[in-house]
Amino acid sequence: MKKDMKLAIVVPCYNEEEILPETINRLNNKINELIKDNKVSDKSYILFIDDGSTDKTWELIIKNSKSTPNIKGIKLSRNQGHQNALLAGINYVENRCDYLISLDADLQDDINTIVQMVDKFNEGFEIVYGVRNDRNSDSILKKSTAENYYRFMKLIGVELVFNHADYRLMSNKAISYFNNFTEINLFIRGIIPLIGLKSTKIYYSRKKRLAGESKYPLRKMLSFALNGITSFSIIPLRIISYIGIIVFILSFIMGCYILYLGLFTNLTIPGWSSTVLPIYFIGGIQLLSIGIVGEYIGKIYIETKKRPRYFIEEILDE
């Protein structure tokens, strides 16, 4: 048992004042339980990253850091999004811990699983994925779209852990490897499997949010999903080429068919078939293709700017 190993629990937060007191209380109890059981070092801590919240999230972090030694905090200068907030936490704890566990502040991830993750680390695993064993807490629409998204990502060659989000354990070695990835368009759950190292999975049941509202509405989820697709696969670009070949073949066949109807039957309206149908078909394909290419060009444009992914306004680390 590696009782001298320091654990950092990394928790991104955005406007979580309603749930944060309960989150702090439960995570603090859990880390004290681990210390008492000699599973982690007594220097282990919880790091909250305030992603530019506009409510009292940061004030709550400050208040609890003063009264509880193992509570630390980072305040970003503005809202940079969940993935950048998580990135800030991962970057910061490198060489300040022996391993980290990341999870969201909404307490939907079962924190009792943390004990199992620590045990797996003590067994020699460098990465431990928290994986949902079902999606019963989701609506039918969200459940079907999420599961089909994971299947689609696998189909186009993206290596994802099915039903895994950002609840995971990473050793300091894994953190060091991860911090070598410098892309601006972040899709962390797609990057981690690229690291390699010895990994395993822990299954748990995801709970409903205790308080507050989800900070990931449909618009953000769609944007996040699209970012994942375009960040890790060029298959959509290849699909355009395949569609072009198919359209050429179909156009040739249709041209032969229209020629046959014109020469040997009286079933055609002169000029309509050969003009309108190809325009609709080709026009739709072109618009779709331009949109896909535009997504990739946009990502290239953003990456070439090499802008900072976040700015840290304040750090609570005493």
Strand partners, 74: 49, 315
37-50 pLDDT, tens digit each = 888 888 999 999 99
For 240, the token pair is 């355009």
In a domain, 293, yes or no: yes
Give me the chain's average pLDDT, please.
79
Distance CA 117, CA 21 (A): 24
Rounded to a whole number of angstroms, the distance between the first and last alpha carbons of the chain is 27
In a domain, 157, yes or no: yes
DSSP code for 17: T
For 270, the token pair is 């002169």
Residue 96 and residue 244 in one domain: no
Name the most confidently modeled range: 74-78, 158-162, 211-215, 271-275. 74-78
Residue 172 and residue 260 in one domain: no
In a domain, 227, yes or no: no
Residue 209 and residue 248 in one domain: no
For residue 80, give the 3-state DSSP assignment. Answer: coil
Residue 252 and residue 200 in one domain: no
In a domain, 224, yes or no: no
DSSP code for 210: S
Residue 186 and residue 259 in one domain: no
For 180, the token pair is 């070598």
In a domain, 221, yes or no: no
Pairing of β 71-76 and β 164-171: unpaired
Residue 163 and residue 193 in one domain: yes
Residue 208 and residue 239 in one domain: no
Residue 142 and residue 177 in one domain: yes
Residue 23 and residue 155 in one domain: yes
Is the pTM for the entire model greater than 0.85?
no
In a domain, 230, yes or no: no
Residue 106 and residue 185 in one domain: yes
Q: Which of 98, 96, 114 is nearest to 26 (CA)?
A: 114
For 17, the token pair is 């004042």
Residue 142 has pLDDT above 60, yes or no: yes
Domain span holding position 286: 235-305
**pLDDT band, very low/low/confident/very high, at 126 (cuts 50, 70, 90):** very high
227-238 pLDDT, tens digit each = 555 565 666 666
Residue 207 and residue 104 in one domain: yes
In a domain, 229, yes or no: no
Q: How many domains does the chain have?
A: 2
Helix, strand and coil in the chain, % to nearest 5 = 50, 15, 35
99: enclosing H helix or E strand: strand 99-102
In a domain, 127, yes or no: yes
For 100, the token pair is 């980290």
Distance CA 186, CA 193 (A): 14
CATH number assigned to the domain comprising residue 133: 3.90.550.10
Q: How confident is the model at residue 160, as a pLDDT?
A: 73
* Cα atoms in the 13 Å half-sphere on the side-chain side of 213: 4
Residue 86 and residue 199 in one domain: yes
For 7, the token pair is 């654990």
Provide, rounded to the nearest whole percent, the portion of the chain with pLDDT above 70: 67
